[in-house]
Amino acid sequence: MTRLAEQGVSELAGLAREEGAQDARDFFRNEPGRVDALTIRAAGITADFSKQSVSQTCLEALVRFADASGIDEAIANLASGAPVNVTEQRAASHMALRGAGRDESGKAAARSELDRAMRFANALRAGEISGVTGKPLRNILHIGIGGSDLGPRLIAKALGEAGSPVRARFLASPDPDAFAHAVRDFDPAETLVFVVSKSFGTAETKANGAAAREWLEAGLGTKDVSAHLAAASAAPDKAAAFGVPGERVFEMWDWVGGRYSLWSAVSMTVMAVLGEAAFRALLQGAAAMDDHFTASRLDRNMPVVMALAAYWNRVFLGRQSAGLVPYATRLSLLPAWLQQLSMESLGKRTGLAGDEIGGDTGAIIWGAEGPNGQHAFFQLLHQGSTIVPVDIIAVREANGDPVRHRMMLTNALGQAEALLSGRSFETASAELAARSVDPDEIRRLAPHLVMPGGRPTNFLMLDRLDPYCVGGLLALYEHSVFVQSVLFGINAFDQYGVELGKTLASTLERELETGASGIHDPSTMRLLGRVRGDND
Ligand code: F6P
């Protein structure tokens, strides 16, 4: 950390001591222009950060800290395709996938591969790709996990329409039930198996790929099922060894992280389901957010301000988790997608130079669709002893019945207002008195009705639930996570933490297969014995 950044941290620590007990209600009283100052528009999204527990003085200090942490240079490096993934010595050029940023060679490679995948998807939509029986392939079984699954699955759910000529199912878990469910009414003769794996070595994806091959072979009565296979991978030789014809292997590159890859041929399934115009509009929305991110000054930069609020909440106010609550069923997979994006990127304790950070880094991300969440975990958000900053996402324009849509909007607004305003003991008592409740009963009941309020939210309003706005929304989160990584001083683009469990799982698998017994902790030994039936 530079001297200036260290000064920034102590300035922020001082502000946390002075203002940490205050919340947006106090700041609204003292800052007449607060809503305007903390509302930012970009890529079809209006973001209102004014309900955060961040004063404008504090925001200025956070901006100074970001400046001292080299945020401008970091953004420029990200956009130009410099090797910002320092542990793996790679770029993280996801902006190039949507034609933004300044990585010209990345953009050219991305464009040509996108066009190739799009031609294939268009041909599938037109019924021009047939399987071994001559029937057109109109079903896609999309096999992948983590970044090779969550993004495409989310977009397909968010933007898919009934009546698409192509039906898609997503398969991630190797649980046999998941496979059976995914292919439940698919005819192998009409099904394309699209295996998405950057490494083409992920155990779950390999197992599901093998199961899909067997399913095709059994259903089609032939071993030559290559007409039913396609893949997206950075290991084309492995995809070829699996039997995918070369012209159907779409390229991924080591300069795009798996969780940032949804903008590429990884989403061929989505291209086929939504059509070319919709997928290109998704990329345009993301590119509009990229342009805003790379060109706006820090205090008017949506991803930067969002990241600064997240950093303040985590490091200086000690908020351990952050909620994400979309008021749109079509966005119900957003929390799962953000969990991987944020927790795989920021769930680290080692700094860029190999030093232990010592402080807090990424928050625990969780959430669910708004109306359902209101009848489940919102009780804790309103009255629990833990304060959870929440992103509330709403959609302005109705996509169907305007009356029920208005209900979605008013619930989103009402919950954000209740989280902020709360209800005092006096108000609760007055409300009970207005209902002619007996004074003794008021004294007994009122404490239970008190809601402290001051609970911070970001309110993100999409103009409409269309590809452009959804593209902008996902890019917003990508950039916010990146900015947080710069503030924490960690690398957002590796994920060594998930390796050890994978290695141990394959060791255990070998032991179960061969009957060998290795050395494990006593609990694992006992459980392994239970799997083997030793205790039966
Ligand atoms: O969970 C670890 C991880 O490496 C993710 O980062 C990645 O998205 C996922 O596994 C799948 O990897 P692959 O695309 O190589 O199969």
Choose one of 498, 500, 503 to mutate for the ligand 1 pocket test, by most ligand atoms within 8 angstroms of C-beta: 498
**Same structural domain for residues 259 and 369?**
no
Atom of ligand 1 nearest to the CA of 233: 14
- Centre a 10 Å sphere on the Cβ of residue 170 and count the other Cβ atoms it contains: 24
pLDDT tens-digit profile of 178-188? 999 999 999 99
Q: Is 264 in the pocket of ligand 1 (CB under 6 A)?
A: no
**How far does the centroid of ligand 1 lie from the alpha carbon of residue 273, in Å?**
23
Average pLDDT over residues 215-221: 98
Residue where a domain stops, chosen among 280, 310, 325 = 280
pLDDT tens-digit profile of 416-459? 999 999 999 999 999 999 999 999 999 999 999 999 999 999 99
Residue 439 located in a structural domain: no
DSSP state of 340: I
Rounded Cα–Cα distance for residues 503 and 508 (Å): 9
**How far does the centroid of ligand 1 lie from the alpha carbon of residue 94, in Å?**
16
**How far does the centroid of ligand 1 lie from the alpha carbon of residue 43, in Å?**
29
143: part of which helix (H) or strand (E)? Answer: strand 139-143
pLDDT band at 261 (very low <50, low <70, confident <90, very high): very high
Q: How many helices (H) and strands (E) does the chain have?
A: 24, 11
DSSP state of 48: E
536 has a pLDDT exceeding 80 = no
Atom of ligand 1 nearest to the CA of 199: 15
Q: Is 238 in the pocket of ligand 1 (CB under 6 A)?
A: no
410 has a pLDDT exceeding 80 = yes
At residue 343, what is the residue type?
A: M
**Same structural domain for residues 518 and 411?**
no
Residue where a domain stops, chosen among 280, 312, 342 = 280
Residue 147 located in a structural domain: yes
323 φ, ψ to 5°? -100, 155
**Same structural domain for residues 243 and 361?**
no
Q: What is the pLDDT of residue 291?
A: 98
- Written as six digits, the tokens of 5 are 């950044």
> What residue numbers bound the domain in which 375 lies?
3-68+296-421+455-494
Q: Is 261 in the pocket of ligand 1 (CB under 6 A)?
A: no
Residue partners of 420: CB distance under 8 A and separation at least 6? 23, 24, 25, 51, 453, 454, 455, 456, 457
**For 51-98, what is the HEC assignment?**
CCCCCHHHHHHHHHHHHHCCHHHHHHHHHHCCCCECCCCECCCHHHHC
Rounded Cα–Cα distance for residues 86 and 371 (Å): 42
409 has a pLDDT exceeding 80 = yes
Q: Is 152 in the pocket of ligand 1 (CB under 6 A)?
A: no
**How far does the centroid of ligand 1 lie from the alpha carbon of residue 55, in Å?**
39
Smallest CA separation from ligand 1 atom 16, residue:
197
**Same structural domain for residues 144 and 105?**
yes
Share of the chain above pLDDT 90, in %: 96
**How far does the centroid of ligand 1 lie from the alpha carbon of residue 199, in Å?**
8
**How far does the centroid of ligand 1 lie from the alpha carbon of residue 73, in Å?**
28
At residue 184, what is the residue type?
A: R
pLDDT band at 2 (very low <50, low <70, confident <90, very high): confident
Contact predicate 348/360, CB 8 Å = no
Q: What is the pLDDT of residue 502?
A: 86
**Same structural domain for residues 257 and 308?**
no
**Same structural domain for residues 487 and 519?**
no
CATH number at residue 228: 3.40.50.10490
**Same structural domain for residues 49 and 143?**
no
**Same structural domain for residues 261 and 131?**
yes
**Same structural domain for residues 335 and 225?**
no
Atom of ligand 1 nearest to the CA of 204: 16
pLDDT tens-digit profile of 509-518? 999 999 888 9
pLDDT band at 1 (very low <50, low <70, confident <90, very high): confident
323: part of which helix (H) or strand (E)? Answer: strand 321-326
Residues serving a catalytic function are 344, 375, 502
pLDDT band at 534 (very low <50, low <70, confident <90, very high): confident
Q: What is the pLDDT of residue 3?
A: 85
Q: Is 134 exposed, middle or buried (0-12, 13-18, 19+ CB in 10 A)?
A: exposed
Residue 434 located in a structural domain: no
Q: Is 147 in the pocket of ligand 1 (CB under 6 A)?
A: yes
Rounded Cα–Cα distance for residues 453 and 263 (Å): 39
pLDDT tens-digit profile of 60-108? 999 999 999 999 999 999 999 999 999 999 999 999 999 999 999 999 9
- Written as six digits, the tokens of 100 are 């933004």
**How far does the centroid of ligand 1 lie from the alpha carbon of residue 152, in Å?**
14
Q: Helix, strand or coil for residue 129?
A: coil
Residue 383 located in a structural domain: yes
Residue 410 located in a structural domain: yes
pLDDT tens-digit profile of 347-377? 999 999 999 998 999 999 999 999 999 999 9
Domains held by the chain: number: 3
Residue 427 located in a structural domain: no
Residue 262 located in a structural domain: yes
Q: Is 151 in the pocket of ligand 1 (CB under 6 A)?
A: no
- Residue 389: half-sphere exposure toward Cβ, Cα within 13 Å: 30
Signed CA dihedral, 397, 400, 403, 409: sign only: negative
Q: Helix, strand or coil for residue 140?
A: strand
Q: Is 259 in the pocket of ligand 1 (CB under 6 A)?
A: yes
Rounded Cα–Cα distance for residues 349 and 358 (Å): 7
Closest CA to 316 of 4, 21, 7, 24: 21
Q: Is 498 in the pocket of ligand 1 (CB under 6 A)?
A: yes
User: Hey, which residues does 47 pair with through a beta bridge?
Assistant: 40, 460
Q: Is 203 in the pocket of ligand 1 (CB under 6 A)?
A: no
pLDDT band at 271 (very low <50, low <70, confident <90, very high): very high
Tokens 């007055």 map to which residue? 430
At residue 440, what is the residue type?
A: D
Higher pLDDT, 1 or 258: 258
Smallest CA separation from ligand 1 atom 1, residue:
146
Atom of ligand 1 nearest to the CA of 148: 14
**Same structural domain for residues 224 and 272?**
yes
Atom of ligand 1 nearest to the CA of 261: 8
Contact predicate 47/458, CB 8 Å = yes
Smallest CA separation from ligand 1 atom 5, residue:
146
At residue 278, what is the residue type?
A: A
Atom of ligand 1 nearest to the CA of 495: 6
Atom of ligand 1 nearest to the CA of 234: 15
**Same structural domain for residues 98 and 151?**
yes
Look up the pTM and report it. Answer: 0.96
**For 481-497, what is the HEC assignment?**
HHHHHHHHCCCCCCCHH
Rounded Cα–Cα distance for residues 15 and 8 (Å): 11
Residue 84 located in a structural domain: no
> What residue spans of 160-298 are helical by DSSP H?
176-182, 203-220, 236-242, 268-274, 276-295
**Same structural domain for residues 236 and 353?**
no
117: part of which helix (H) or strand (E)? Answer: helix 104-125
Rounded Cα–Cα distance for residues 64 and 62 (Å): 5
**How far does the centroid of ligand 1 lie from the alpha carbon of residue 149, in Å?**
9
Choose one of 88, 148, 170 to mutate for the ligand 1 pocket test, by most ligand atoms within 8 angstroms of C-beta: 148
Q: Is 145 in the pocket of ligand 1 (CB under 6 A)?
A: yes
Share of the chain above pLDDT 70, in %: 100
Smallest CA separation from ligand 1 atom 8, residue:
147
Average pLDDT over residues 213-240: 98
Q: Is 148 in the pocket of ligand 1 (CB under 6 A)?
A: yes
Q: How far is CA 185 from CA 141, 208, 273, 413, in A?
A: 12, 17, 17, 41
**How far does the centroid of ligand 1 lie from the alpha carbon of residue 264, in Å?**
15
